[in-house]
Amino acid sequence: MPIYLTTPIYYVNDKPHIGHAYTSLATDVLARWHRLAGREVYFLTGTDEHGQKVEKAAQDAGEDPRAFTDRVSQAFRDLTVTMGFSNDAFIRTTEKRHYEACQALWKRLEERGHIYLGAYEGWYAVRDEAFYGPDELTERDGVKYAPSGAPVEWVREPSYFFKLSEWGDKLLEFYEANPDFIAPQSRRNEVISFVKSGLSDLSISRTSFKWGVPVPGDDAHVMYVWLDALTNYITALGYPDPKAENWRFWPANVHVVGKDILRFHAIYWPAFLMAADLLPPARIFAHGWWTNEGQKISKSLGNVIDPVALVEEFGLDPIRYFLLREVPFGQDGDFSRSALVNRLNGELADVLGNLANRTLSLIQRNCEGKLPSLPPVRDMDTTLLAPLDTLVESVDKLLESQEYHIALEEVFRQVRGANGYITVQAPWALKKTDPTRMMEVLRHLHTALRAYATVLQPFMPATMAALLDQLGVPAGSRDLAALATPLPDGIDLPPPSPLFRKIEIAA
Ligand code: MSP
């Protein structure tokens, strides 16, 4: 079964920050895991380039929107490289194929009677590119604000509408029949109660600005940027051509999104798709938001976290590890330097790095750098080896439900157990007293390290590749299935070098 995973497409109003890196990182780990399990994956990310917000950012920069979006979109493409994302494609909503897909979807909805022309009068938040009902707003100093904190403005203009009001019951039935469609559960409940409170028809075109996909047959209107943006997920697979090579990836297995954009993905998107007689995605996972040292992240507070600077300072894999280990996926979390340093020193360097270094240095020194033969398993080895039998299966299950932090906890529980094993077995002391047993212990530790390194590849690709190199695992034997085949006895292992650098904490 092919697997399709997506990130949101990012607004190009500003350069990428930690929130963007986080959503894509979580998707990247899933994509890499499924590939490691031998599944065929299509992993999409990209940029959302139309709408009032982007148009305004271009004006503020004194640039033409095309030149501006070309420039900022490139920064997001560069981020995929900085962060080591393994996306198969990068879509831009300003591409011609995307205009065609949006217009085809529009026509299909229109033909099926789901669109009518009217006039919108109400509140709009440009920052969120969202319409709000008066009951959702709060007022401060004469300015009204959406629940997200974005200021709203009064809009009155001719508009096409999608008959969303007709989809409430069908959506509720759909959520009921597909209990895993919205995750985590708490978010699912929020969406259900929102839908139960009644849906109004949705304005899906704008006439007061031009930066968007023209409505077919009525150039005075451009499409509402969220209809345009959501369509990217099918444009990328070749919609509207049912014979397109990649169309077989639809419906998506998971759209990974932030909690702020769940409503668009869990309500509007399945309604548009069902109205067009297309299958809705299988799952929407809404993750939480990061704060910076306890404070909300915002441009005006000047505390935006730049992922590029973080990677330069700490290295890519430690940051990838920290972001998914520190906070349960789905909950809000706080980014603090002390928490980061504790994880890096206390888990990566002291637990995993140390185990690898001790084991591999002993093999180098005491076994002439050759992998000891596969030994019998004694009772005292089962604490180390028995948990390995279920490692892959449990990580697979946990990633199926996007529980990254528990998956990492599980692996590190085992790595800690292995540290206990090496301390108790003390292979360094066996060199003189029982060299055969020393070889046994080292080979078992090698087996365990190979398993840990293999399953950790999606989280820390470059560092685990280095560890697998040091363990002598050939490039073609690094997938999950290869774990069933032991490495040949006696192969030469390269001299080890430290995997993680310990961070000095400034006083
Ligand atoms: N363009 C829309 C998505 C369209 S998808 C069809 C959009 N773009 S965005 O650039 O504003 O946000 C993209 C993602 O970044 C969202 O998933 C959002 O939750 C995430 N984050 C933005 N700030 C964040 C934090 N402070 N913390 C975690 N993620 C945050 O929305």
Mean pLDDT of each 10-residue bin along the chain, 507 residues long: 97 93 98 98 98 95 95 97 98 98 98 97 94 93 93 96 98 98 97 96 96 97 98 98 97 98 98 98 97 88 92 97 97 94 96 98 98 96 98 98 98 98 97 96 98 98 98 98 97 96 77
Q: Which long-range contacts (CB under 8 A, 24 or more apart) does 379-384 make?
A: 380/424, 380/425, 381/421, 381/440, 381/441, 381/444, 383/417, 383/420, 383/421, 384/417, 384/418, 384/421, 384/444, 384/445, 384/448
Q: Residue 281: name the closest of 178, 353, 354, 210 by CA.
A: 178
Q: For the chain, what is the total number of helices (H) and then of strands (E)? A: 19, 18
C-alpha dist (Å) from residue 39 to 4, 294, 481: 10, 39, 11
Q: Give the separation between CA 449 and CA 359, rounded to whole angstroms.
A: 9
Residues whose beta carbon lies within 6 Å of some atom of ligand 1: 8-11, 19-20, 22-23, 48, 229-230, 232, 257-258, 260-261, 289-290, 297
Q: Residue 374: name the closest of 274, 447, 280, 483 by CA.
A: 447
Within its chain, how far is the Cα of 408 from the centroid? 15
Q: Which atom of ligand 1 is the closest one to the Cα of 265?
A: 6
Within its chain, how far is the Cα of 18 from the centroid? 12
436: exposed, middle or buried (Cβ count in 10 Å: 0-12, 13-18, 19+): exposed
Ligand 1 centroid from CA 149, angstroms: 15
Ligand 1 centroid from CA 183, angstroms: 17
Q: Give the separation between CA 106 and CA 242, rounded to whole angstroms.
A: 16
DSSP 323-356: HHHHS-TTS-EEE-HHHHHHHIIIIIIIIIIHHH
Would you state the pLDDT for residue 300? 80
Q: Which atom of ligand 1 is the closest one to the Cα of 258?
A: 19
Residue nearest ligand 1's atom 7 by CA: 10
Q: Which atom of ligand 1 is the closest one to the Cα of 257?
A: 17
Contact 50, 225 (CB under 8 A): yes
For a pocket test of ligand 1, which of 48, 230, 293 has the largest count of ligand atoms closer than 8 A to its C-beta?
Answer: 48
Ligand 1 centroid from CA 190, angstroms: 19
Residue nearest ligand 1's atom 30 by CA: 19
Q: Which atom of ligand 1 is the closest one to the Cα of 269?
A: 6
For a pocket test of ligand 1, which of 5, 9, 10 has the largest count of ligand atoms closer than 8 A to its C-beta?
Answer: 10
Ligand 1 centroid from CA 20, angstroms: 6
Would you state the pLDDT for residue 506? 62
Ligand 1 centroid from CA 286, angstroms: 10
Residue nearest ligand 1's atom 14 by CA: 20
Would you state the pLDDT for residue 298? 84
Q: What does the buried/exposed string (b/e) look like for 257-272 if buried means 16 or more CB atoms within 10 Å of the residue's CB?
A: bbbbbbbbbbbbbbbb
Ligand 1 centroid from CA 471, angstroms: 39
